[in-house]
Amino acid sequence: MTRVSRGPIVILTGAGISKESGLETFRDSDGIWAKVRVDDVATPEAFARNPAHVHEFYNMRRRRLQAGDIEPNAAHRALVELEAQWPDPVLLVTQNVDDLHERAGHQRLIHMHGELLKARCAFCGDVQAWHDDLSVALSCRHCCRSGGLRPHVVWFGEMPLEMETIFAALSECRLFVSIGTSGTVYPAAGFVSLAASHGVETVELNLEPSAGASLFGESIQGEASVIVPAFVQRLLAGLWAGASAPLASRAMGARGN
């Protein structure tokens, strides 16, 4: 029975890890894409066609994120504990544009789809922290041109950030953990296959089996605030046995233990 008690870990998170903090997911029945069309707000073409509409979509999410009642949950905190106590590097790659991993205290973090609390100039590429509403009337602090400030967010058809770093980490790690993602958006949805092709142990923690669940060595269902802390505790205690674990431990169920 293989045990993962050493070696680098790569973690991928999606909107499901922030759901219990009060932020909407995308593809749940009550999710964001049930209320607004991707092609109207999350593509470069949408921004070129109607920048004010795209700004309002992200302004609303930026205000919601900073509303005061949105806090990191036990899943975010458990990943910070894993990063602090694990003897080898832990790289957290998030598809989320919220700042809950940072606010929980996570250090080594890549926002592959960008960050809601940053703005980028479409003309000169300058990126700056941005907590207020964005609009076409604003001008860039660097090139002084107006109309080009956009959310520092990766839209469909745009290249996600730091992909070379991510691909290298996936090929060199010992364990790949996917948390709270439906496994429908690429290239993130392909990370499990890349990791597995390098002999990496893979585990999925999600409310329900994702589109790529069958590609993982382990699949654990439940709410992130329950199953992620339980998984981290078992990992730190050297008790998680990986894909060769007895079937009984393959689906720990909602209690996560």
Shortest Cβ distance from residue 1 to ligand BV8 (Å)?
27
Question: 189-199 in b/e burial notation, b at 16+ Cβ within 10 A?
Answer: bebbeebbeee
Residue nearest to ligand BV8 (CB): 16
Question: Phi and psi of 236, rounded to 5°?
Answer: -70, -25
Report whether 145 contacts 172 (CB < 8 A): no
Which of 17, 43, 40, 19 shows the shortest CA–CA distance to 29?
19
Window contacting ligand BV8 (CB under 6 A); options: 79-87, 202-210, 236-244, 247-255? 202-210
Answer for which of 207, 236, 241, 243 binds ligand BV8 (CB under 6 A) is 207
Whole-angstrom distance, CA of residue 220 vs CA of residue 227: 8
Which of 192, 193, 173, 169 shows the shortest CA–CA distance to 181?
192
Window contacting ligand BV8 (CB under 6 A); options: 63-71, 119-127, 154-162, 248-256? 154-162
Each residue 217-256 as x (binds ligand BV8 by CB under 6 A) or -, in order, gives: ------xx--------------------------------
Residue 175 as a binder of ligand BV8 (CB under 6 A): the answer is no
Q: Which residues are annotated as catalytic?
A: 113
Report whether 224 contacts 73 (CB < 8 A): yes
Residue 157 as a binder of ligand BV8 (CB under 6 A): the answer is yes
Residue 64 as a binder of ligand BV8 (CB under 6 A): the answer is no
Residue 191 as a binder of ligand BV8 (CB under 6 A): the answer is no
Residue 181 as a binder of ligand BV8 (CB under 6 A): the answer is yes
Answer for which of 129, 159, 237, 247 binds ligand BV8 (CB under 6 A) is 159
Count interface residues toward ligand BV8 (CB under 6 A). Answer: 36
Crossing angle of the two packed helices 74-85 and 224-236, in degrees rounded to 10:
20
Task: Return the SS3 of 37.
Answer: coil
Indicate the residue among 174 and 176 with the shorter CB distance to ligand BV8. Answer: 176
Residue 8 as a binder of ligand BV8 (CB under 6 A): the answer is no
Which of 110, 127, 254 shows the shortest CA–CA distance to 168?
110
Residue 249 per-residue DSSP state: G
Report whether 130 contacts 206 (CB < 8 A): no
Residue 204 as a binder of ligand BV8 (CB under 6 A): the answer is no
Answer for which of 97, 140, 232, 235 binds ligand BV8 (CB under 6 A) is 97
Q: Would you tell me which residues interact with ligand BV8 (CB under 6 A)? A: 14-16, 19-20, 25-28, 31, 42, 95-97, 113, 153-160, 180-182, 184-187, 206-208, 210, 223-224
